[in-house]
Amino acid sequence: MPELPEVETVCRGIAPFIEGHVMRDVVTTRPNLRVAFPELFAERLNGHSVEQVKRRAKYILIYFKGGPCMVIHLGMSGQIKIVEPDASYQPIKHDHMFLHFDDGRSLVYNDPRRFGFVLLYDNAAALEDDKIFKQMGPDPFSDSFTPAFFYDALKRRNSPVKTALLDQRLVVGLGNIYVCEALFMAGINPKRLASDVSRKEASALYAAILEVLEKAIKAGGSTLKDYRRADGKLGYFQHEFQVYGREGAPCFVCNKGEVHRIVQAGRSSFYCSACQKK
């Protein structure tokens, strides 16, 4: 499943091509993905211009001037691509949605496994009122996600710090890969109770979270198989993993410890036996 950096990369990739442009038509090739496409899809969007493309957690949000807001979730295998006006594009298998704009460009959503979905809200207020977004914690790049907030939030959790970081009510969008890598950078064992993390450690972990996400965004993502950005290029952050997926291998940093793997809340956690003793 695409993680926060992949989704952020997609948002940054498509924004320059569709912001300010008017929707001319919406075409779907099937009635549903994980859920049905919105009713009166084209009628509700045609004639509206794209005001802004944003990301919330792992959701792509497209705000249209005059009200409508579209939410796209890529699921396990969803990909978005931009087709140029002069491209003689031939639809391929699993192209399920086409958004056609006034300059001749099209946004194409492809999803082989169809675990993704597309929602449409009448306005921004309706989107914010949906339980999907109402219960979310702050985004790691938002002004509300501060070192003080982060420390206080950890102090209220009696679960392992790894499990706490995956809880979208604490902070949104942190996937398993990035939590493992951030904990390693901060030198914190994933089995530690979140409430036992000191203020100094929380500050180091806060900085590590932002650093690992920024590196992944710059690299274009980390999906282990064939994730592609909006420009069609592969993401390569996986080549920079320090611990994730390296069970039994020596630590790159200390050259003393070995990367161990444990299972927490059904997810694999990887950590260095020396760097992350505590």
**Confidence tier at 238 by pLDDT (50, 70, 90):** low
Longest dimension (CA), the chain: 62
Sign of torsion, CA 163 168 171 172?
A: positive
- Identify whether the C-beta of residue 78 lies closer than 8 Å to the C-beta of residue 2: yes
- Kindly report, as residue ranges, where domains of CATH 1.10.8.50 are found in the chain: 147-272
Query: DSSP of 96-127, one letter per residue?
Result: EEEEEETTS-EEEEE-SS---EEEEESSHHHH
Q: At what angle do helices 4-18 and 199-219 cross, to 10 degrees?
A: 50
Q: Which residues are catalytic?
A: 2-3, 58, 267
Q: Which CATH number is correct for 4-134, 3.40.190.10, 3.40.30.10, 3.20.190.10, 3.30.360.10?
A: 3.20.190.10
Q: For the purposes of burial, counting CB atoms within 10 Å of the CB of 224, is it exposed (0-12), middle (13-18) or buried (19 or more)? A: exposed
- Identify whether the C-beta of residue 202 lies closer than 8 Å to the C-beta of residue 150: yes
CA distances from 261 to 81, 205, 275 (A): 36, 20, 14
pLDDT at 229 over 90: no
The reported pTM is: 0.85
Q: How far apart are CA 207 and CA 229, in angstroms?
A: 26
pLDDT at 2 over 80: no
Report which of 58, 53, 34 is spatially closest to residue 136, judged by C-alpha positions.
Answer: 58
Encode pLDDT of 165-216 as tens digits: 999 999 998 989 999 999 999 999 999 999 999 999 999 999 999 999 998 8
Domain at 147-272, CATH class: mainly alpha
Encode pLDDT of 53-98 as tens digits: 999 999 999 999 988 999 999 998 899 999 988 878 889 999 999 9
Over residues 153-173, mean pLDDT: 96
Over residues 238-260, mean pLDDT: 90
- Kindly report, as residue ranges, where domains of CATH 3.20.190.10 are found in the chain: 4-134
Element (H, E) at 269: strand 267-272
Exposed e or buried b for every residue in 52-71, given b needs 16+ CB within 10 A? ebebbbbbbbbbbeeebbbb
